[in-house]
Structure 1
Amino acid sequence: MKRFLILLFLLLGLFSFSQTKSFKVALNKAYDFEVDENFVKAKNIFKSMKDGNEINVSEKKFINNYIIFYDYLLSDRSDVKSIDNVIKNLLSIEKRKYYETELLINVITSKYHFLASNIGWKEALITAEVGYSLKDFKQAKQETQTDYLYDLGYLYDKVGNSFEGIKFYKKSLNLYIKKYGEVNNEVALNYNNLAYAYTNVYNQKNTIAYYEKAAKIWETLNKNSNDNKDYLVRVYHNLIFQYINYGDLEKAQLKLIKLNNYIKKKYQTDVSKSENTYFLSFSDYSLSNIRMSLALNKQKEALQFLKVFEENQFLPYKKTIHSKYLIQCYEEVADFLIEKKEYETAFNLIKKGLSLADKYDQKQYLVTLNSKIATIYKFQNKNDLAVKFYTVAQNNNNNTYFNSTKYTLEFLKSEIFFETNQTNKAVSIIKNNIEQLLFDYGQKKKTIDKLKFSDVRELVSTEFINLFYKSGKIYFQNYKKFKNKNDLQIADNLYNISNKLFREYYLKGEYNEELSKYHSEIIEGLLEISLEKKLTFQDKINLINEIEKSASQHLAQEFFKKITTNNNESNVNLEKIKELKNELNFYKNQSNSSGEKLNKNKIIEIENSIASLTKKTSRTYQDIDKNSLDNFDIVNVQKVVDKDELVIKYYTLKNYVFAIYISSNHIDIQKIATTHHLKKEVMLFLQQTKKVSQESFPVSKNLSVSLTKDLNAKKVTIIADGFLNYLPFEMLYDAANQKYLVQKSRVSYNYTLPFYLFNKQNNITVNNDKLIAFAPNYDIKTIATVRSGLSDLEHARKEADLISKLFNGTSYINEKASKANFFKTINQFGFYHFAMHSLVDENNINESCLVFSNNEKLYFSELYGLNFSSKMVVLSACDTGNGNLKSGEGIMSLSRALTYSGVQSSVFSLWQVPDKETSEIMISFYENLKDGQSKDEALANAKRDFIENNPMKNHPFYWAGFVVNGDVSPILEGTNWWLYIGIGLAMALLIFLFRKKLF
């Protein structure tokens, strides 16, 4: 009987709390009307059921709550108390059904929307957190959860906790993509907001990545229609700012073109300019063009955009947002003028900005504008006034959330105190500043000497890169003054943290002035500190690895890409791998603070696809993939250095030139000269050398002492930097032995240490080991003495003919040495010899070229874009190693373009080489290669023979201009005569013994 009663109770309970069919139908209809925001019809459906007998008691109670909610939605939504009882009723239910959870989440959403609009962001967030903390939150519809998570991200971002905001944006993004796919407006908005949130936490790398994602989606969605809300304008504007700040002006200009085209197309008439979207879009347009003009040093153009913006009749400054853009324009132009030392004009713009900021209560600009005034006073050596206005800026910085301004302003004050010999005060300010940053950022009470990179690893922005290395600089200068070892340790740590942040910040593309500036100052600090410390061998390893991993990877990436696309493998596969790796990196970056990965299945899917495609590529590509530049280790370099070899890596930095000497069993770091003095000597030496002046000898002795002190290695590999790229080191003169470096050492060059390592570890094969030579004729029949201009090169033609015959190769002489014939032969030969003229334009490297027959020009940009993975190219022409010196990258030259195209080694010239003498050296070089000598040995011996055979032409002008860069391994196996002699003797002995046995 007891069992029966229990069962009856359970059945009654199931009946009274289960969902009736008519209620389910009504609920689904109401949901459909809700999608279209037709709350009247939704409410009528429930009203018609309320008094009927088709639904149970709990459903009637639920409907009453829902009707109250609909009444709120149909009102002006000003009386939020009307839905408080609904929230209270639904929260009181212990085990909510899915539709009760759905209603509860929606009602809470309406409440925090009201609070956000009428009370404040913090109050809204407190209410929103209630809904997310519900145990049955995931019982709500997926789209409801998604929107709620997105709102939480937005609210956290608004209250200044962008780290939590990012976490919720990513959670909602995952659900959005799952429901709608990638190409959807909601997904794009989520990417856009994520980008903005990353701006707030100073992670520029992710900021750019997410803005680019959003832009790509909106471009797809609006390909054949208008973007009514001008989302594209916003995202282009943001990307332009980010790329300019990063220093990538080329990408910024591409985005600006898109932005300008959009504005011109949409807002052509006065009617279109009356649309609500026009003000913000025109503001973005004006500010972006001003920024770009200033970045390109076009001051007049920027001022013209500013004038038009100020005078635009459609832009009445009646609201706070209206004044914001004009103040920003004043700031941008003022910054530019301050750099130009046009302080008075800058002051006038700052005053205009302050006037607007006061009038429209734009307090954040009172911070930035007053700090600019302080900067002007600092540059004018009015330090008391500078400190005063930095303090005014700080007092106006009322942001309660984490921001870089607070710490930057404090540091700038410390810098002034340090420069005015108030050392202790300056260091104390920095110490407190960094410790306060740690507390504000991670809520950690930590002293500066305990700071770790992991504490600040997300602060990937120029603001914090600057803050850490400049703080380290003051600590280091303080150490040099008082010799406190703790200061040295703190300085070292701050520089290392800055270097690691820089590595995260660097997007692996081509270096620009900004990147080079940060990198150079950080590396100089690390090397300076290393000389003060007693570094162990492992310390040196760690230091060099840290430095090299932060260097430009652009050249290496282009080279590796090219050498793997001509080995009978599909270019399509390589492009797919590249895209997939970018996508993989993107999804892997979508981790929350605990390290948990979102989109795990997506990541696994991408990794499997990459692995599958990689198996289809060449062994070469797979080897490169395993040994990426990010995994560079100097230990591996030491393993491949020959016993009689010395590798010298130079760093030409802001103040000093450093050298790292690497042998198979030793590493040494030295500061060798001041940059200014050494550059002056090198340029004077080169100037004298090119004039065949005997005055170059004493200067050469001085340079030898600086650059190759106590150098006795038989083989030297030079990895130059900056202006040292112009110098052929083999012409340096050893006064003690009265010999040039080439007379006692084989000298070769490499662009980077990773390149050197790659060339040593990888013997890349090409499909054809044959040689081809090109030697055009030219219209001007005057016989040339040097390979410059476009006059006839008699000896060059003889050179090409003899070399091709020496290797049973092919030669294109005179008219046949055409640009068209070169393109026909690409990758059909392993070795290419160009005996011809070249033209070098140092102002515009893309105009530099090789000149084929009929004066046809092969330009730098064409070479750069080729897939030309030959084993060796010899540029027997003038100045092929010269060009524009680009900070952080090296000399943009024709020879460098060959490396970009995939050429494994090149021989090139560093000045206008003489025609006859060049021909003699080149023929000797190839004869040595024919004998099986390595490329560096073959060129060194050719130069030695020339010096010995031409005592009247032993001046470096005649023989030192050509250098070999890259892989120096032999192109042919030499004849091993000792092996043949041994075999011959063995055979003779066998014959003798056999004959003896017979008799």
Structure 2
Amino acid sequence: MTLKSKILFCFLLFLLVFNTHSLFAQSEKTNNIIKQLSDFYLLNKTDSIISFSDKVLENLQTKASTDSLLYVKLYQYKYTALHKKKKSIKNLASLNKGISYCPNTYTGDSLKAALYNTKAYLESELGNAMQSYKSITKSLKLLDKLPNPNPGSVMGAYLLLSNKNAYYGNFEKAKQYMRLAENIYKRNKAYLDKNTWELNGNNHRMGVILKYRKIYMFWILSKNSNDSLTLINTMKDLEKMHNKSDFHKEERIYYSSALNHIGDWFVSYKHDSLTTKKDIQLGLNYLLKTHNLVKNKNYPGTLWAIKYNIAKAYSKGNLLEKADSIMTDLFNGISETDGRLPFFYAQKALIKAKKNQKDSAIIYFNKSIQKIHSKNDSLTTYYTNFKPSKSYNHTRLLLRINEELNNYYPTDTIVQQKISKLYYLALQQFENSYLNINFNKQQNRQLRKIIKGILNSKKTGFLDDYQHQKTILNKFEILKNQLAWKKFYESRYTNTLPELDSVNQRNTVLASLLSKAKIRKNIPQRDSIQRLIQKHDSYKKKQFPQLELLSNFEFSIENLQKKLTSKDVILKYILLENEIAIYQISKSSFKVHLIPWTNIEAQKLSDFIYKTRNRKNTLNLGSQLGKLLIPKLDKQIDHLIINPDGILFKLPFEVLQINKKFATEDYHISYTSNLGFVNYTANKTATSKEIHIYAPSYANTTPTSNSRNKPSFLKGASNEAKNISKLFPSQLYNDSNLTKSTFIKTAGKGKILHLAMHAEVNEDFPELSRLLFSNNLENEDDHLYLEELYGLSLNAELAILSACNTGAGLDKNGNLESFQRAFTFAGVPTTVVSLWQVPDMATEQIMLFFYQNLKNGQAKSEALRNAKLSYKNKYADSKLSAPYFWAGFVVYGNDSPVFQTSYNYSAIIIIVLIIIAIAYCFTRKKFLVK
């Protein structure tokens, strides 16, 4: 168990046992049972707790209301014992049982809140981030209703929410929840500390844990000098606690760890060139202090990690002999297979580089790379035989080596040539290792660093031709798609995909068995397992035909180009540090443009999006951004396929200015969240030709909403649904009893799915976005969460989400986790979504124009473009012609027509030409005869 896991485990047990004992006493029978369990717990007799709990539960047999609290406490103690023995998802069963027995009383709700609290911490440990978030919010809702909620539970909830927001990069919210936890502790300090000592069975006080967690949070997330004072003051508070006589030996782990974290923060939070002597001195003070405590005073801590941080500090402070000496000490007694060696060699190389010992530095850098190489052979000069390891940290290390080589030897052509190769090695390493760890936002950043390095290497002349660039982009698309899938799979909220879990687990088991068979050279067993894998793959394709699309799909630029027409061009954008890469891909050409993208350009884009959404003049900004973001295009191009990135997902490219006109006036534009989805077609087709229209009436509301973001009656949506139903064979679901279950049961039969309804988009946690089927926001089961769509099997060719903002859901590291992606996975190749709260009446008119154009056989993006222009021209002389009213809807995915026109005009023209030719030949023959 790691140091971090031990700390989290101790805190989890504190919450559980604290809440068990803090509730008022029950009957004498109950008290005797609980006392027995408590005695077992204090003596650490986990097996006795489990067997005693099972025996009592068996004897109780019935779920009598008088025994309900005893049931709860039995399951609490059983969980605690099971968790002490082994952390497992199976332990959740005890918590869920306990929750089910909680009565609707003050005591019952308090216990239920405590159980949800504990459940959230376990789910967090197991990597189920969104399930953990769900459990902790349920705990807080219960606590909020209580007149005197348990302060331990409230504080634990705030600390976990701080941790969750920190994990997702929401630093401000993480700090906010940390402050709330601090306030709870200040108001209840005496009570919390007293109960910790008396009831917890260990000596981990909440105040000590709180200070440690705060320092840990800043160490992980903060890169701001303004936070240094907060860190110093928090450490001073922990120091005061440490200096008091009641600071227990068991709490030392928090103190020594906090010293190491804060010391490393002062050494590392700035770039090397910006780190000051004061930063180094402060960092060293903390690091040397914890080094002394761990080495000489028997405090818990990892001594080699502290030494490594001290060496970093000495190196940054140019105390190079001391740094070199510590690194030499770290090498003593270490084996050649030790996993720390690549990092130690790299640090040693950096020290040698700072000493101007170039040859020695390059030797140590090469030793580091050699240790990452997973084969036993020696690496060639330019690493052509490199085989990546399974460690994701090695990806980061390779990037750091590149950065240092470039920093110290920018004019050395041999080193620069190696750098260009090392970026490709980093991509290989990333590709081979990123699936072995839980999703982390750093993965996205590291991937972008690699792409930036490769593109910048092109400027040096050491990168191969465009064929090499195509290979890099192929890998980027596959990796980005799999990262998005990995993030979704690990962050599910509703947990409604058990079949998918089973498939994923069977994948892992079969792969493991095959690997073992290969190692043992057991050919019959290997053949048998491979047959099982083939059967499993067939099952996957049948049950989840879109699974390969997100989890393991193949992609190549060459195949994509073959599917394009001469009038298509793809513009793919990748946001990099201070630059943006624009890939321009047509049927016969492939270009890469690397242009500046500083805070100035980013601010212009933000202003443009804001002004567009708020009906303000944007022509000047639109012209500037049009020149910047849309490269020169060939004259025959009339269809732009946009693959945005980051904030560009919020930009309607249609309103950018090209030659003093809106882009949509010259081009029809479609979008894709991944190049692999361009012209994607699903494996299934709808059995019905009907449009299924879903327009909830939202009971007990009045038609007052002008936009589709609040759960109230939508007059325009109601008219829109009725008018669309007149154009095509349709099934209209618009009564007050329309539910999520109705949608799930019927949606699989429609050719087109039209959802004229409200949506709630959560930009902090995109997985929590949902389509609203009622105005009861509190009842989660009423609404369709974004991730629930992944579990559906739909057969429609097109889904239209005329709810507001359904194209949003931007994750802060550039992934788009929105409804359109979920519909794609569910089997719908094309979605129409909105980028902001489109006015209800404008939506109604644009949708009607759009459907009329579809009926006439137009391609989807062409039909939407013409619908927008029809609306714009209709109100040309009024304020209603502003882009705010018509530019919000965009189309993602396959662009082919949904309906074929009654007459095939191309065929008719060909037939007419043939008839004319035959008539001409016949006439000419007669003339010649004469």
What range describes the TM-score normalised by the shorter chain of this pair? 0.5 to 0.7
Larger deviation: 933-942 or 783-792?
783-792
User: Residues 657 and 675 of structure 1 are in contact (CA less than 8 Å); yes or no, is this contact kept in structure 2?
Assistant: no
Secondary structure of 1:768's counterpart equals coil
Q: CA RMSD in A?
A: 5.2
Aligned residue among 384, 393, 415 for 2:326: 393
Displacement, 1:652?
0.8
Larger deviation: 871-880 or 243-252?
243-252
User: Residues 511 and 552 of structure 1 are in contact (CA less than 8 Å); yes or no, is this contact kept in structure 2?
Assistant: no
Answer yes or no: is 1:350 the counterpart of 2:287.
yes
Displacement, 1:496?
1.4
Aligned to 1:657: 580
Displacement, 1:645?
0.9
Amino acid at match of 2:690: K
Amino acid at match of 1:401: S
Amino acid at match of 1:384: N
User: Residues 781 and 792 of structure 1 are in contact (CA less than 8 Å); yes or no, is this contact kept in structure 2?
Assistant: yes
Aligned residue among 714, 717, 725 for 1:804: 725
User: Residues 346 and 368 of structure 2 are in contact (CA less than 8 Å); yes or no, is this contact kept in structure 1?
Assistant: no
Answer yes or no: is 1:449 the counterpart of 2:381.
yes
Secondary structure of 2:587's counterpart equals coil
Answer yes or no: is 1:502 the counterpart of 2:424.
no
Aligned to 1:918: 843
Answer yes or no: is 1:830 the counterpart of 2:755.
no
Aligned to 1:433: 365
Secondary structure of 1:451's counterpart equals coil
Answer yes or no: is 1:872 the counterpart of 2:798.
yes
Displacement, 1:760?
3.3
User: Residues 291 and 303 of structure 2 are in contact (CA less than 8 Å); yes or no, is this contact kept in structure 1?
Assistant: yes
User: Residues 508 and 552 of structure 1 are in contact (CA less than 8 Å); yes or no, is this contact kept in structure 2?
Assistant: no
Secondary structure of 1:384's counterpart equals coil
User: Residues 244 and 292 of structure 1 are in contact (CA less than 8 Å); yes or no, is this contact kept in structure 2?
Assistant: no
Q: Distance in 1 between matches of 2:126 and 2:576?
A: 21
User: Residues 367 and 394 of structure 1 are in contact (CA less than 8 Å); yes or no, is this contact kept in structure 2?
Assistant: no
- Classify 1:886/1:860 alpha carbon distance in 2 versus 1 (closer, same or farther; 3 Å): farther
Q: Deviations for 1:416-468, whole angstroms, at most 9, x for unmatched residues?
A: 887x8x8x65686144332365279889795773324635x225231x22221
Amino acid at match of 1:390: A
Amino acid at match of 1:514: Q
Aligned residue among 471, 493, 496 for 1:542: 471
- Classify 1:626/1:961 alpha carbon distance in 2 versus 1 (closer, same or farther; 3 Å): closer
Q: Deviations for 1:334-354, whole angstroms, at most 9, x for unmatched residues?
A: 546767789688656534421
Answer yes or no: is 1:742 the counterpart of 2:671.
no
Q: Deviations for 1:30-57, whole angstroms, at most 9, x for unmatched residues?
A: xxxxxxxxxxxxxxxxxxxxxxxxxxxx
Match runs of 1:180-579 below 5 Å: 230=85, 327-328=256-257, 330-332=259-261, 334-335=263-264, 349-359=286-296, 367-373=304-310, 375=312, 383-385=317-319, 387=320, 389-397=322-330, 398-402=332-336, 403=338, 405=340, 407-408=342-343, 411-412=346-347, 425=357, 429-435=361-367, 438=370, 449-452=381-384, 454-455=386-387, 457-458=388-389, 460-462=391-393, 464-476=394-406, 481-482=410-411, 484-507=412-435, 511-533=439-461, 535-553=464-482, 555=484, 577-579=503-505
Aligned residue among 787, 790, 794 for 2:715: 794
Answer yes or no: is 1:686 the counterpart of 2:609.
yes
Displacement, 1:904?
2.8
User: Residues 373 and 389 of structure 2 are in contact (CA less than 8 Å); yes or no, is this contact kept in structure 1?
Assistant: no
Secondary structure of 1:815's counterpart equals coil
Amino acid at match of 1:517: R
User: Residues 842 and 886 of structure 2 are in contact (CA less than 8 Å); yes or no, is this contact kept in structure 1?
Assistant: yes
Answer yes or no: is 1:722 the counterpart of 2:651.
no
Displacement, 1:748?
0.8
Q: Deviations for 1:607-639, whole angstroms, at most 9, x for unmatched residues?
A: 322323444565696797599746432222222
Answer yes or no: is 1:766 the counterpart of 2:691.
no
Q: Deviations for 1:687-726, whole angstroms, at most 9, x for unmatched residues?
A: 11122222x1111111111111113421111111111111
Displacement, 1:747?
0.9
Aligned to 1:973: 900
Secondary structure of 1:908's counterpart equals strand
Q: Deviations for 1:655-698, whole angstroms, at most 9, x for unmatched residues?
A: 3111111112221111123243332121111111122222x111
Amino acid at match of 2:898: I
Q: Distance in 2 between matches of 1:246 and 1:674?
A: 39
Q: Distance in 2 between matches of 1:941 and 1:708?
A: 21
Q: Distance in 2 between matches of 1:847 and 1:253?
A: 10
Amino acid at match of 1:368: A
How many residues were matched structurally?
A: 720
Aligned residue among 570, 574, 599 for 1:676: 599
Amino acid at match of 1:553: Q
Q: Distance in 1 between matches of 2:247 and 2:86?
A: 20
- Classify 1:752/1:443 alpha carbon distance in 2 versus 1 (closer, same or farther; 3 Å): closer
Secondary structure of 2:295's counterpart equals helix
Aligned to 1:587: 513
Displacement, 1:903?
3.6
User: Residues 509 and 553 of structure 1 are in contact (CA less than 8 Å); yes or no, is this contact kept in structure 2?
Assistant: no
Q: Distance in 1 between matches of 2:286 and 2:789?
A: 44
- Classify 1:243/1:572 alpha carbon distance in 2 versus 1 (closer, same or farther; 3 Å): closer
- Classify 1:316/1:951 alpha carbon distance in 2 versus 1 (closer, same or farther; 3 Å): closer
- Classify 1:253/1:972 alpha carbon distance in 2 versus 1 (closer, same or farther; 3 Å): closer
Q: Distance in 1 between matches of 2:567 and 2:480?
A: 28
Answer yes or no: is 1:957 the counterpart of 2:884.
yes
Amino acid at match of 1:408: F
Q: Distance in 1 between matches of 2:489 and 2:249?
A: 55
Q: Distance in 1 between matches of 2:242 and 2:688?
A: 62
Displacement, 1:377?
6.9
- Classify 1:410/1:704 alpha carbon distance in 2 versus 1 (closer, same or farther; 3 Å): same
Amino acid at match of 2:899: L
Q: Distance in 2 between matches of 1:442 and 1:616?
A: 35
Aligned to 2:556: 633
Secondary structure of 1:917's counterpart equals helix
Displacement, 1:803?
0.9
Q: TM-score, normalised by structure 1?
A: 0.61
- Classify 1:429/1:934 alpha carbon distance in 2 versus 1 (closer, same or farther; 3 Å): same
User: Residues 682 and 828 of structure 2 are in contact (CA less than 8 Å); yes or no, is this contact kept in structure 1?
Assistant: no
Displacement, 1:771?
0.8
Gaps of 5+ in 1: 1-221, 262-266, 562-570, 993-999
Gaps of 5+ in 2: 1-76, 92-119, 140-155, 158-194, 223-229, 271-277, 491-496, 920-930
Secondary structure of 1:970's counterpart equals coil
User: Residues 686 and 749 of structure 2 are in contact (CA less than 8 Å); yes or no, is this contact kept in structure 1?
Assistant: no
Q: Deviations for 1:348-400, whole angstroms, at most 9, x for unmatched residues?
A: 6534421223316999955432443455577xxx7324x45533431331242
Q: Distance in 1 between matches of 2:686 and 2:488?
A: 15
Aligned to 1:206: none
Aligned residue among 604, 624, 629 for 1:707: 629
User: Residues 289 and 305 of structure 1 are in contact (CA less than 8 Å); yes or no, is this contact kept in structure 2?
Assistant: no
Q: Deviations for 1:213-248, whole angstroms, at most 9, x for unmatched residues?
A: xxxxxxxxx999967994659x99xxx999999998
Displacement, 1:793?
3.1
Q: Deviations for 1:840-864, whole angstroms, at most 9, x for unmatched residues?
A: 3434445544334555662535644
